[in-house]
Structure 1
Amino acid sequence: MTDPIAVQHAAARAWSLFTQDRQTTETVEDWETSTTPDGSPCLSGQVVGDNPALALRLFTADYPIPLGQPGDQRPTVEYRDGCVVTVWRSAGVWVELWHPEVPTPRPGPPVAAQRPARPIPAPPRRTAVSTPSGRLPLGQRLTNIRRALATKEN
């Protein structure tokens, strides 16, 4: 026969053992008892803590829940009305552990950090000064080399 109280204690114990094994601090709060549309009893509890999404995902994927009666079902994840819900059936009672799904903001264009305006220093002034070796500055030297090569070819 179905006993929602025994199933609730088993689910709470499974969650407690899971959090001890994983060393997490999430808890299940606000257990509610209701009835599904087909008349089966249903238990529902909210997972609360620092990272309920990760804890609920790991619980669903990794933690073994003993299922020993006909009609028992393994935990699965569903998305309903803005909530992530893990659902399984044990001893004829549906058990739901859920947490509200927090929407992740869409990445937008990167925003550049605002810097205070600084005056731009003027470039240093160059004056026509001869170099100590007596060589011409590069620009004039290239022009002279080009002229000399052009006259030799003609």
Structure 2
Amino acid sequence: MTTPSPDPTLTAVRIQACEAWQVFTRSRSLPATLTDWTTTKTPDGTPALTAMATGPDAEQVLRAFTADFHIRLTHSGDTRQCFDFSVPGRTACVRRSRGVWVQLWVPDSPGVAVAPVQAARRRVLARPGARLPFTRNRRAKEAHTA
């Protein structure tokens, strides 16, 4: 019996994801590593690669990787990494490369909620920068001067 040869696209995407993780963690001296990769299919039949980040502060490392690391989009349909909270008890970094979904994830720590991150994001987005005019104030000033 012969074993099927691995799909070269899956292999290339896995290698790219591993290298991106290693560049990020080594450049910042972060000890988090990735577990063995699992290959699955999404409900629509698209291939998916999954690995869990482990090690000290793996959750913070994954969050920093998702928010700060730039991965070049070289193929049509590639997407930037983003957070995925759709699976309860898991925080994931998800992106698409060469038609393959890549998911790096960590189990949520007990007592650590996503709400503080979302609340901080809302606070930042609720305050426009000094360069942005407050349209509400401008309209109020125009109404008073008329």
Q: Percent identity?
A: 40
Higher Cα Rg: structure 1 or 2?
1
Q: Are 2:21 and 1:15 aligned?
A: yes
CA distance in 2, matches of 1:72, 1:51: 28
C-alpha displacement at 1:24, in angstroms? 0.3
Aligned to 1:95: 102
Q: Which runs of structure 1 show a deviation greater than 3 angstroms over 4 or more consecutive aligned residues?
A: none
Of 60, 64, 76 in structure 1, the residue corresponding to residue 70 of structure 2 is 64
Q: Are 2:40 and 1:40 aligned?
A: no
Aligned to 2:93: 86
Normalising by structure 1, we get a TM-score of 0.65
> Is contact 1:2-1:92 (8 Å) kept?
no
CA distance in 2, matches of 1:98, 1:105: 15
Cα 1:2–1:70 change in 2 (3 A) is farther
C-alpha displacement at 1:81, in angstroms? 2.2
User: Larger % of helix: which?
Assistant: 2
Cα 1:14–1:105 change in 2 (3 A) is closer
- Structure 1: stretches of 5+ with no match in the other structure: 107-154
CA distance in 2, matches of 1:69, 1:105: 36
C-alpha displacement at 1:78, in angstroms? 1.1
CA RMSD of aligned residues (A): 1.8
Normalising by structure 2, we get a TM-score of 0.69
User: Larger % of strand: which?
Assistant: 1
Partner AA of 1:103 in structure 2: P
- Structure 2: stretches of 5+ with no match in the other structure: 1-6, 114-146
